[in-house]
Chain A
Amino acid sequence: KQEVTQIPAALSVPEGENLVLNCSFTDSAIYNLQWFRQDPGKGLTSLLLIQSSQREQTSGRLNASLDKSSGRSTLYIAASQPGDSATYLCAVSPTTASKLTFGTGTRLQVTL
C-alpha cells in the first residue's frame, strides 16, 4: 500500500526566504506526482505535475524535483511571500486517470 509522507508538518519563515518542502513515498511504481496548494477551508489548486520520466518541473517561483527510484520529491519556493501561506500537499498516482494518494501536508506560514 502506497504511503506518502511530508516533512516538515509545519513551517514558518520570514518573507523573502527560499524554502524546501519534502515529500517521500514508499512505492516507486508511480505514474506521476503532483504538488497542490490548499487554502484553509478551500479546495485544491494544482501547482506542478511531474511525470515519472521527468526529473523536475518549474512554474514561476516554484520548482519541483522528482527522484523516483529513491521515492522522493521536493518543492522549492523561491523568495517566499505572505500570499504563499497555505497547506502544500503532494500526491502520487500509480497510473493515468487514477486515484491519488495524498501526503500528510506541510502548513506553511510566511510572515512579514
Chain B
Amino acid sequence: GAVVSQHPSRVICKSGTSVKIECRSLDFQATTMFWYRQFPKQSLMLMATSNEGSKATYEQGVEKDKFLINHASLTLSTLTVTSAHPEDSSFYICSADPGSGTDTQYFGPGTRLTVL
C-alpha cells in the first residue's frame, strides 16, 4: 500500500511552453501533498505545500505565478510549470501525507523535466 504515482516520468519541452505534472495517491487519500525540486547533484528543496480545496503555500523564492499548483481532490495534485525556461529543467518529486497519525510521507518516483 501507500503508493504515489507521477505522470509523466519524463518530459522534454520547448522554452516558453507550459508543462503539467500530476501526482496521485493510488491507495490512500491525502489532504496534504508536497512538491520538491532537485537539481543535479543537489538535495531536494521544498517548493510548495498543497492542501486539498485551498491555495498552496509556497516557499520563499518560489514564484507562485510560474509554478501553479492545484489540489482538486484528495488523491490528485498537479504542478504546472508555466512559460518554462531552460533553468526550470530539474527533477520534480511530489510526496503525499496520508494523515491519520501517520508520521511519514510517501514519495512519487519523480518527473524529469528538460526545457530546450
Residues of chain A whose beta carbon lies under 8 Å from any beta carbon of chain B: 31-32, 34, 36, 41-46, 49, 51, 89, 91, 93, 96-97, 99-105
Q: How many Å lie between the Cα of A46 and that of B102 in the bound state?
A: 13
B104 on the interface (CB 8 Å rule)?
A: yes
- Cβ-Cβ contact count across A and B, 8 Å cutoff: 53
Question: Cβ of B109 and Cβ of A31 under 8 Å apart?
Answer: no
Complex interface: stretch among B12-20, B43-51, B72-80: B43-51
Question: Dominant SS at the A interface?
Answer: strand
B67 on the interface (CB 8 Å rule)?
A: no
Q: How many Å lie between the Cα of A43 and that of B21 in the bound state?
A: 15
Question: Cβ of A102 and Cβ of B44 under 8 Å apart?
Answer: yes
Interface readout for B63-90 with A: 1 if CB under 8 Å, 0 if not? Answer: 0000000000000000000000000000
Of A31, A96, A104, the most chain B CB neighbours within 10 A belong to A96
A57 nearest CB across to chain B (Å): 12
Please, which residues of chain A bring their CB within 8 A of the CB of B105? 100
Q: How many Å lie between the Cα of A102 and that of B6 in the bound state?
A: 21
Report if A99-B46 is in contact (Cβ < 8 Å); known contacts: A42-B109, A43-B93, A43-B108: yes
Task: Supply 11 A–B pairs (Cβ within 8 Å), ascending by A.
Answer: A31-B103, A41-B112, A43-B108, A44-B44, A44-B93, A97-B103, A99-B46, A100-B44, A100-B95, A102-B45, A105-B43
- By Cβ-Cβ distance, the 4 closest A-B pairs, closest first, are A43-B109, A44-B107, A102-B43, A102-B44
Question: Cβ of B110 and Cβ of A51 under 8 Å apart?
Answer: no
Question: Cβ of B109 and Cβ of A49 under 8 Å apart?
Answer: no
Of B46, B99, B103, the most chain A CB neighbours within 10 A belong to B103
Please, which residues of chain A bring their CB within 8 A of the CB of B99? 97
Please, which residues of chain B bring their CB within 8 A of the CB of A101? 46
- With beta carbons under 8 angstroms apart, the residue of B34, B97, B104, B107 that contacts A49 is B104
Please, which residues of chain A bring their CB within 8 A of the CB of B112? 41
